[in-house]
Amino acid sequence: MEELINRLKSGTYTKDDLVSALNIPDEEKFMPLFNLSEQICEEYFGKGVFIRGIIEYSNKCRKNCNYCGIRRGNEKVLRYLIKPEEIYKVAEKLKAQGVMTLVLQGGEDAESDPMLLDVIKQIRTKYEMAITISIGERPFEVYKQFKEAGADRFLLRIETTNPVLFKALHPDDDLEYRKKCLLWLKELGYQVGTGIMTGLPGQTMEMIAGDLLYFKELQPAMLGIGPFLPHEDTPLGNEKPKELFLTLKVLALIRIMLKNVNLPATTAMGTLDKDGRKKAMMYGANVFMPNYTPAPYRESYLLYDNKICVKEDCSNLCAGGIIKSAGKFVAQGRGDYKSF
Ligand code: 5AD
Ligand code: SF4
Protein backbone atom coordinates (compact mmCIF):
# COMPACT_ATOMS: atom_id res chain seq x y z
CA MET A 1 0.00 0.00 0.00
CA GLU A 2 2.78 2.40 0.93
CA GLU A 3 4.54 1.69 -2.35
CA LEU A 4 1.34 2.21 -4.28
CA ILE A 5 0.83 5.57 -2.60
CA ASN A 6 4.41 6.58 -3.36
CA ARG A 7 4.03 5.71 -7.03
CA LEU A 8 0.77 7.65 -7.24
CA LYS A 9 2.42 10.60 -5.48
CA SER A 10 5.44 10.66 -7.74
CA GLY A 11 3.49 10.01 -10.95
CA THR A 12 5.30 6.72 -11.63
CA TYR A 13 2.16 4.57 -11.41
CA THR A 14 1.07 1.98 -13.95
CA LYS A 15 -2.41 1.06 -15.16
CA ASP A 16 -2.28 -1.94 -12.80
CA ASP A 17 -1.62 0.44 -9.89
CA LEU A 18 -4.78 2.35 -10.77
CA VAL A 19 -6.77 -0.90 -10.91
CA SER A 20 -5.35 -1.92 -7.52
CA ALA A 21 -6.32 1.44 -6.03
CA LEU A 22 -9.83 1.19 -7.51
CA ASN A 23 -10.15 -2.30 -6.02
CA ILE A 24 -9.39 -1.19 -2.46
CA PRO A 25 -12.39 -2.69 -0.63
CA ASP A 26 -13.22 -0.21 2.13
CA GLU A 27 -13.03 3.45 3.02
CA GLU A 28 -10.68 2.91 5.91
CA LYS A 29 -8.05 1.28 3.71
CA PHE A 30 -8.50 3.99 1.08
CA MET A 31 -8.23 6.80 3.64
CA PRO A 32 -4.54 7.60 2.96
CA LEU A 33 -5.48 8.27 -0.67
CA PHE A 34 -8.51 10.37 0.30
CA ASN A 35 -6.22 12.38 2.57
CA LEU A 36 -3.61 12.80 -0.16
CA SER A 37 -6.32 13.95 -2.58
CA GLU A 38 -7.61 16.56 -0.14
CA GLN A 39 -4.08 17.71 0.65
CA ILE A 40 -3.38 18.30 -3.06
CA CYS A 41 -6.73 20.05 -3.45
CA GLU A 42 -5.87 22.45 -0.63
CA GLU A 43 -2.41 23.08 -2.10
CA TYR A 44 -4.02 24.42 -5.26
CA PHE A 45 -7.35 25.83 -4.07
CA GLY A 46 -7.09 26.24 -0.31
CA LYS A 47 -10.44 25.49 1.29
CA GLY A 48 -12.32 27.49 -1.34
CA VAL A 49 -15.09 25.95 -3.44
CA PHE A 50 -16.21 27.66 -6.64
CA ILE A 51 -19.92 27.92 -7.35
CA ARG A 52 -21.27 27.49 -10.87
CA GLY A 53 -24.97 28.16 -11.38
CA ILE A 54 -26.54 25.73 -13.83
CA ILE A 55 -29.63 26.23 -15.98
CA GLU A 56 -31.03 23.25 -17.84
CA TYR A 57 -32.28 25.42 -20.69
CA SER A 58 -33.70 22.67 -22.93
CA ASN A 59 -34.61 19.02 -22.47
CA LYS A 60 -35.13 18.38 -26.17
CA CYS A 61 -32.72 15.75 -27.40
CA ARG A 62 -32.05 14.09 -30.73
CA LYS A 63 -30.18 11.20 -29.09
CA ASN A 64 -31.23 8.05 -27.37
CA CYS A 65 -28.51 7.23 -24.83
CA ASN A 66 -29.58 4.10 -23.02
CA TYR A 67 -29.11 5.48 -19.49
CA CYS A 68 -30.69 8.89 -19.85
CA GLY A 69 -34.19 9.88 -18.74
CA ILE A 70 -34.59 12.56 -21.41
CA ARG A 71 -33.52 10.35 -24.33
CA ARG A 72 -35.62 10.98 -27.44
CA GLY A 73 -37.41 7.66 -27.05
CA ASN A 74 -38.94 8.66 -23.71
CA GLU A 75 -42.34 9.89 -24.76
CA LYS A 76 -43.42 10.63 -21.20
CA VAL A 77 -41.15 13.68 -21.06
CA LEU A 78 -42.78 17.05 -21.53
CA ARG A 79 -40.28 18.83 -23.77
CA TYR A 80 -39.36 22.48 -23.13
CA LEU A 81 -37.04 25.25 -24.23
CA ILE A 82 -36.62 28.09 -21.75
CA LYS A 83 -37.12 31.60 -23.15
CA PRO A 84 -34.14 33.98 -23.27
CA GLU A 85 -35.84 36.41 -20.85
CA GLU A 86 -36.03 33.69 -18.21
CA ILE A 87 -32.36 32.89 -18.69
CA TYR A 88 -31.42 36.58 -18.27
CA LYS A 89 -33.41 36.69 -15.04
CA VAL A 90 -31.33 33.82 -13.70
CA ALA A 91 -28.12 35.52 -14.86
CA GLU A 92 -29.16 38.61 -12.91
CA LYS A 93 -29.85 36.55 -9.83
CA LEU A 94 -26.45 34.86 -10.09
CA LYS A 95 -24.78 38.23 -10.47
CA ALA A 96 -26.60 39.57 -7.41
CA GLN A 97 -25.45 36.55 -5.41
CA GLY A 98 -21.85 36.92 -6.56
CA VAL A 99 -21.86 33.70 -8.59
CA MET A 100 -19.48 34.28 -11.50
CA THR A 101 -20.20 31.28 -13.74
CA LEU A 102 -23.37 30.43 -15.63
CA VAL A 103 -23.61 26.90 -17.02
CA LEU A 104 -26.10 26.40 -19.83
CA GLN A 105 -26.88 22.71 -20.19
CA GLY A 106 -29.32 21.01 -22.50
CA GLY A 107 -30.13 17.84 -24.33
CA GLU A 108 -28.58 17.62 -27.78
CA ASP A 109 -30.95 20.19 -29.25
CA ALA A 110 -29.15 21.71 -32.23
CA GLU A 111 -32.34 23.40 -33.43
CA SER A 112 -32.03 25.82 -30.53
CA ASP A 113 -28.47 26.85 -31.41
CA PRO A 114 -29.45 30.21 -32.99
CA MET A 115 -31.32 31.18 -29.81
CA LEU A 116 -28.50 30.00 -27.59
CA LEU A 117 -25.91 31.91 -29.61
CA ASP A 118 -27.92 35.06 -29.15
CA VAL A 119 -28.36 34.45 -25.41
CA ILE A 120 -24.60 33.99 -25.00
CA LYS A 121 -23.87 37.23 -26.85
CA GLN A 122 -26.36 39.12 -24.66
CA ILE A 123 -24.98 37.72 -21.44
CA ARG A 124 -21.44 38.41 -22.59
CA THR A 125 -22.20 42.09 -23.15
CA LYS A 126 -24.51 42.67 -20.17
CA TYR A 127 -22.99 40.63 -17.36
CA GLU A 128 -19.39 39.96 -16.57
CA MET A 129 -19.51 36.26 -15.92
CA ALA A 130 -17.94 33.11 -17.27
CA ILE A 131 -20.20 31.11 -19.58
CA THR A 132 -20.03 27.33 -19.77
CA ILE A 133 -22.05 25.37 -22.30
CA SER A 134 -22.94 21.71 -22.17
CA ILE A 135 -24.84 20.98 -25.35
CA GLY A 136 -23.35 17.79 -26.78
CA GLU A 137 -21.76 17.05 -30.12
CA ARG A 138 -21.57 19.56 -32.97
CA PRO A 139 -19.33 20.09 -36.00
CA PHE A 140 -16.13 22.13 -35.49
CA GLU A 141 -17.68 25.19 -37.18
CA VAL A 142 -20.55 25.32 -34.70
CA TYR A 143 -18.22 24.99 -31.72
CA LYS A 144 -16.30 27.90 -33.23
CA GLN A 145 -19.43 30.05 -33.49
CA PHE A 146 -20.22 29.46 -29.83
CA LYS A 147 -16.66 30.36 -28.82
CA GLU A 148 -16.81 33.55 -30.84
CA ALA A 149 -20.19 34.41 -29.31
CA GLY A 150 -18.51 34.38 -25.91
CA ALA A 151 -18.65 30.90 -24.39
CA ASP A 152 -15.55 30.34 -22.23
CA ARG A 153 -15.91 26.73 -21.25
CA PHE A 154 -17.47 23.53 -22.61
CA LEU A 155 -18.57 20.37 -20.86
CA LEU A 156 -18.76 17.18 -22.88
CA ARG A 157 -18.43 13.97 -20.94
CA ILE A 158 -16.81 11.03 -22.71
CA GLU A 159 -18.90 8.81 -20.35
CA THR A 160 -16.51 5.86 -20.87
CA THR A 161 -13.45 5.37 -23.06
CA ASN A 162 -14.08 1.67 -23.50
CA PRO A 163 -15.27 1.23 -27.13
CA VAL A 164 -17.53 -1.75 -26.40
CA LEU A 165 -19.24 -0.15 -23.41
CA PHE A 166 -19.49 3.20 -25.21
CA LYS A 167 -21.25 1.55 -28.14
CA ALA A 168 -23.60 -0.40 -25.86
CA LEU A 169 -24.71 2.84 -24.18
CA HIS A 170 -24.84 5.16 -27.17
CA PRO A 171 -26.85 3.91 -30.16
CA ASP A 172 -26.26 7.21 -32.01
CA ASP A 173 -22.65 7.92 -31.15
CA ASP A 174 -19.12 7.09 -32.12
CA LEU A 175 -16.38 7.16 -29.47
CA GLU A 176 -13.76 8.42 -31.91
CA TYR A 177 -15.96 11.35 -32.96
CA ARG A 178 -16.58 12.24 -29.29
CA LYS A 179 -12.83 12.26 -28.70
CA LYS A 180 -12.36 14.42 -31.78
CA CYS A 181 -14.94 16.90 -30.45
CA LEU A 182 -12.94 17.23 -27.23
CA LEU A 183 -9.75 17.94 -29.18
CA TRP A 184 -11.55 20.53 -31.33
CA LEU A 185 -12.89 22.25 -28.22
CA LYS A 186 -9.37 22.42 -26.79
CA GLU A 187 -8.00 23.71 -30.07
CA LEU A 188 -10.66 26.45 -30.11
CA GLY A 189 -9.48 27.68 -26.71
CA TYR A 190 -12.34 26.50 -24.53
CA GLN A 191 -11.61 25.42 -20.98
CA VAL A 192 -12.74 21.87 -21.61
CA GLY A 193 -14.56 19.70 -19.13
CA THR A 194 -15.19 16.02 -19.66
CA GLY A 195 -15.87 13.08 -17.37
CA ILE A 196 -17.45 9.69 -16.91
CA MET A 197 -20.21 7.88 -15.12
CA THR A 198 -19.03 5.39 -12.53
CA GLY A 199 -20.73 2.09 -11.82
CA LEU A 200 -22.18 1.70 -15.31
CA PRO A 201 -23.56 -1.78 -16.03
CA GLY A 202 -20.70 -3.79 -17.51
CA GLN A 203 -18.02 -1.31 -16.47
CA THR A 204 -14.88 -2.85 -14.94
CA MET A 205 -12.08 -1.32 -12.87
CA GLU A 206 -9.76 -1.88 -15.85
CA MET A 207 -12.07 0.28 -17.97
CA ILE A 208 -12.09 3.05 -15.36
CA ALA A 209 -8.28 2.87 -15.13
CA GLY A 210 -8.27 3.37 -18.92
CA ASP A 211 -10.51 6.43 -18.50
CA LEU A 212 -8.11 7.87 -15.93
CA LEU A 213 -5.15 7.45 -18.31
CA TYR A 214 -7.15 9.15 -21.05
CA PHE A 215 -7.78 12.11 -18.72
CA LYS A 216 -4.09 12.28 -17.90
CA GLU A 217 -3.31 12.57 -21.58
CA LEU A 218 -6.11 15.02 -22.46
CA GLN A 219 -5.40 17.33 -19.48
CA PRO A 220 -8.90 18.82 -19.31
CA ALA A 221 -9.69 21.90 -17.21
CA MET A 222 -12.55 20.14 -15.48
CA LEU A 223 -13.71 16.59 -14.83
CA GLY A 224 -17.32 15.85 -13.93
CA ILE A 225 -17.69 12.42 -12.35
CA GLY A 226 -21.03 11.02 -11.32
CA PRO A 227 -22.42 7.64 -10.39
CA PHE A 228 -24.70 6.00 -12.93
CA LEU A 229 -28.25 6.04 -11.57
CA PRO A 230 -31.12 4.21 -13.26
CA HIS A 231 -34.13 5.97 -14.74
CA GLU A 232 -37.22 3.80 -14.89
CA ASP A 233 -38.22 4.75 -18.43
CA THR A 234 -34.93 3.73 -20.01
CA PRO A 235 -33.45 0.39 -21.14
CA LEU A 236 -31.21 0.44 -18.03
CA GLY A 237 -34.10 1.19 -15.69
CA ASN A 238 -33.77 -2.06 -13.75
CA GLU A 239 -30.02 -1.83 -13.14
CA LYS A 240 -28.72 -1.13 -9.65
CA PRO A 241 -26.31 1.71 -8.95
CA LYS A 242 -22.95 0.95 -7.30
CA GLU A 243 -22.07 2.46 -3.93
CA LEU A 244 -20.83 6.06 -3.70
CA PHE A 245 -17.43 4.81 -2.51
CA LEU A 246 -16.46 3.87 -6.08
CA THR A 247 -17.18 7.40 -7.31
CA LEU A 248 -15.21 8.89 -4.42
CA LYS A 249 -12.24 6.65 -5.22
CA VAL A 250 -12.30 7.83 -8.84
CA LEU A 251 -12.54 11.46 -7.72
CA ALA A 252 -9.57 11.12 -5.37
CA LEU A 253 -7.41 9.34 -7.96
CA ILE A 254 -8.15 12.09 -10.47
CA ARG A 255 -7.11 14.77 -7.98
CA ILE A 256 -3.90 12.89 -7.27
CA MET A 257 -3.15 12.41 -10.98
CA LEU A 258 -4.26 15.76 -12.40
CA LYS A 259 -3.65 18.06 -9.39
CA ASN A 260 -5.16 21.42 -10.43
CA VAL A 261 -8.15 20.20 -12.44
CA ASN A 262 -11.56 21.57 -11.41
CA LEU A 263 -13.57 18.77 -9.80
CA PRO A 264 -17.25 19.25 -8.97
CA ALA A 265 -19.23 17.56 -6.25
CA THR A 266 -22.02 16.48 -8.59
CA THR A 267 -25.78 16.28 -8.18
CA ALA A 268 -25.69 12.54 -8.95
CA MET A 269 -23.34 12.03 -5.98
CA GLY A 270 -25.84 13.88 -3.80
CA THR A 271 -28.68 11.76 -5.15
CA LEU A 272 -26.96 8.45 -4.47
CA ASP A 273 -26.04 9.43 -0.89
CA LYS A 274 -27.42 12.36 1.07
CA ASP A 275 -23.88 13.23 2.16
CA GLY A 276 -22.41 12.53 -1.26
CA ARG A 277 -21.48 16.08 -2.16
CA LYS A 278 -20.14 16.81 1.31
CA LYS A 279 -17.90 13.75 1.19
CA ALA A 280 -16.72 14.69 -2.30
CA MET A 281 -15.65 18.11 -1.02
CA MET A 282 -13.86 16.50 1.92
CA TYR A 283 -11.90 14.25 -0.45
CA GLY A 284 -10.80 16.56 -3.23
CA ALA A 285 -13.71 18.32 -4.98
CA ASN A 286 -13.43 22.11 -5.36
CA VAL A 287 -16.56 23.00 -7.35
CA PHE A 288 -20.28 22.97 -6.55
CA MET A 289 -23.00 23.43 -9.16
CA PRO A 290 -26.37 24.45 -7.70
CA ASN A 291 -29.41 24.06 -9.89
CA TYR A 292 -30.82 27.42 -11.05
CA THR A 293 -33.31 26.02 -13.55
CA PRO A 294 -36.63 27.83 -12.99
CA ALA A 295 -38.92 25.61 -10.90
CA PRO A 296 -41.55 24.50 -13.42
CA TYR A 297 -38.95 23.04 -15.77
CA ARG A 298 -36.89 21.10 -13.24
CA GLU A 299 -39.18 18.12 -13.05
CA SER A 300 -38.86 17.66 -16.80
CA TYR A 301 -35.08 17.38 -16.64
CA LEU A 302 -34.80 14.06 -14.86
CA LEU A 303 -31.77 12.25 -16.22
CA TYR A 304 -32.21 9.60 -13.49
CA ASP A 305 -34.75 8.71 -10.79
CA ASN A 306 -34.99 10.55 -7.45
CA LYS A 307 -32.87 13.49 -8.60
CA ILE A 308 -32.36 15.95 -5.74
CA CYS A 309 -33.02 19.71 -5.83
CA VAL A 310 -36.08 19.26 -8.06
CA LYS A 311 -38.85 20.06 -5.61
CA GLU A 312 -36.85 22.21 -3.22
CA ASP A 313 -35.47 25.56 -4.39
CA CYS A 314 -31.95 24.95 -3.22
CA SER A 315 -29.81 27.46 -4.95
CA ASN A 316 -26.98 29.25 -3.26
CA LEU A 317 -28.23 28.96 0.32
CA CYS A 318 -28.24 25.19 0.32
CA ALA A 319 -24.89 25.09 -1.47
CA GLY A 320 -23.33 27.30 1.22
CA GLY A 321 -24.56 24.98 3.97
CA ILE A 322 -23.14 21.85 2.38
CA ILE A 323 -19.84 23.55 1.59
CA LYS A 324 -19.52 24.68 5.20
CA SER A 325 -20.38 21.23 6.49
CA ALA A 326 -17.41 19.90 4.49
CA GLY A 327 -15.14 22.38 6.31
CA LYS A 328 -14.83 24.63 3.27
CA PHE A 329 -16.02 28.07 2.17
CA VAL A 330 -17.41 29.67 -0.99
CA ALA A 331 -14.51 30.97 -3.08
CA GLN A 332 -14.78 34.34 -4.80
CA GLY A 333 -14.04 34.81 -8.49
CA ARG A 334 -14.70 32.87 -11.70
CA GLY A 335 -12.54 29.89 -10.86
CA ASP A 336 -10.87 29.69 -14.25
CA TYR A 337 -8.52 26.81 -14.87
CA LYS A 338 -4.92 27.72 -14.24
CA SER A 339 -2.21 25.57 -15.77
CA PHE A 340 1.03 25.45 -13.83
N1 5AD B 1 -27.23 8.54 -14.28
C2 5AD B 1 -26.21 9.35 -14.00
N3 5AD B 1 -25.79 10.33 -14.82
C4 5AD B 1 -26.46 10.50 -15.98
N5 5AD B 1 -26.26 11.36 -16.98
C6 5AD B 1 -27.20 11.14 -17.90
N7 5AD B 1 -28.01 10.14 -17.53
C8 5AD B 1 -27.55 9.71 -16.33
C9 5AD B 1 -27.94 8.69 -15.43
N10 5AD B 1 -28.96 7.88 -15.70
C11 5AD B 1 -25.12 12.28 -17.03
C12 5AD B 1 -24.24 12.00 -18.22
C13 5AD B 1 -24.30 13.28 -19.00
C14 5AD B 1 -24.63 14.28 -17.93
C15 5AD B 1 -25.21 15.53 -18.43
O16 5AD B 1 -25.54 13.59 -17.11
O17 5AD B 1 -22.92 11.74 -17.79
O18 5AD B 1 -23.09 13.60 -19.64
FE1 SF4 C 1 -29.48 13.37 -24.89
FE2 SF4 C 1 -27.36 13.89 -23.35
FE3 SF4 C 1 -29.37 12.36 -22.44
FE4 SF4 C 1 -27.72 11.42 -24.35
S5 SF4 C 1 -27.14 11.96 -22.22
S6 SF4 C 1 -29.97 11.27 -24.36
S7 SF4 C 1 -27.32 13.28 -25.53
S8 SF4 C 1 -29.48 14.53 -22.97
Class of residue 176 by CB neighbours under 10 A (exposed 0-12, middle 13-18, buried 19+): exposed
- Residue 228 near ligand 1, beta carbon < 6 Å: yes
pLDDT of residue 106: 98
Residue 247's nearest CA partner among 219, 271, 230, 231 is 271
Q: In the predicted model, is pLDDT for residue 314 greater than 90?
A: no
CB half-sphere exposure, 155, CA atoms < 13 A? 23
Q: What is the number of other CB atoms lying within 10 angstroms of the CB of residue 258? A: 19
pLDDT of residue 8: 97
| 102 inside domain | yes
Q: How far is the CA of 64 from the centre of ligand 2 (A)?
A: 7
Angstrom distance (rounded) from CA 231 to CA 120: 31
Average pLDDT for 177-193: 98
| Cβ within 8 Å of residue 233, ≥6 positions away | 69, 74, 76
| 337 inside domain | no
| 199 inside domain | yes
Q: In the predicted model, is pLDDT for residue 135 greater than 90?
A: yes
**Residue type (1 letter), 31:** M
Q: Hey, CA dihedral for 42, 242, 156, 96, is it positive or negative?
A: negative
Class of residue 314 by CB neighbours under 10 A (exposed 0-12, middle 13-18, buried 19+): middle
- Residue 235 near ligand 1, beta carbon < 6 Å: no
| 183 inside domain | yes
| Cβ within 8 Å of residue 86, ≥6 positions away | 294
pLDDT of residue 11: 97
- Cα torsion 236, 113, 196, 13 to 10°: value is 160
Of 133, 156, 197, 234, the one to substitute when testing ligand 1's pocket (max ligand atoms within 8 A of C-beta) is: 197
| 112 inside domain | yes
Residue 155: which pLDDT band, with cuts at 50, 70 and 90?
very high
Q: In the predicted model, is pLDDT for residue 313 greater than 70?
A: no
- CA-nearest residue for atom 16, ligand 1, is 303
Average pLDDT for 182-188: 98
pLDDT tens-place string over residues 12-57: 999 999 999 999 999 999 999 999 999 999 999 999 999 999 999 9
Q: Which domain holds residue 70?
A: 33-329
| Cβ within 8 Å of residue 151, ≥6 positions away | 120, 131, 132, 133, 190
Q: Hey, CA dihedral for 39, 43, 49, 54, is it positive or negative?
A: negative
| 304 inside domain | yes
- Residue 157 near ligand 1, beta carbon < 6 Å: yes
Residue 63's nearest CA partner among 55, 54, 72 is 72
Q: How far is the CA of 148 from the centre of ligand 1 (A)?
A: 28
Structural domains of the chain, count: 1
pLDDT tens-place string over residues 71-81: 999 999 999 99
Single pTM value for the model: 0.98
pLDDT of residue 312: 72
| 130 inside domain | yes
Average pLDDT for 215-235: 98
Query: Do 83 and 118 contact (CB within 8 A), yes or no?
Result: no
**Nearest ligand (C-alpha, residue 235):** 1
98-132 CB burial, b ≥16 within 10 A, e <16: ebbbbbbbbbbbbebeebbbebbebbeeeeebbbb
Q: What DSSP letter does each residue of 119-159 carry, written as one string?
A: HHHHHHHH---EEEEE-----HHHHHHHHHHT--EEE---B
pLDDT tens-place string over residues 235-284: 999 999 999 999 999 999 999 999 999 999 999 999 999 999 999 999 99
Angstrom distance (rounded) from CA 121 to CA 119: 5
Q: What is the mean pLDDT of the chain?
A: 97
Residue 339: which pLDDT band, with cuts at 50, 70 and 90?
confident
Angstrom distance (rounded) from CA 271 to CA 193: 21
* N-terminal to C-terminal alpha carbon distance within the chain: 29
Residue 105's nearest CA partner among 135, 60, 79 is 135
Instruction: Give residue ranges with CB within 6 A of ligand 2.
Output: 61, 63, 65, 68, 70-71, 107-108, 136
Kind of pairing between the strands at 153-155 and 222-227: unpaired
| 278 inside domain | yes
Say which CATH number the domain at 208 has. Answer: 3.20.20.70
Angstrom distance (rounded) from CA 296 to CA 206: 41
> DSSP H helical segments within 46-107, as ranges?
84-96
Average pLDDT for 176-184: 98
pLDDT of residue 311: 82
- CA-nearest residue for atom 6, ligand 1, is 68
pLDDT tens-place string over residues 80-122: 999 999 999 999 999 999 999 999 999 999 999 999 999 999 9
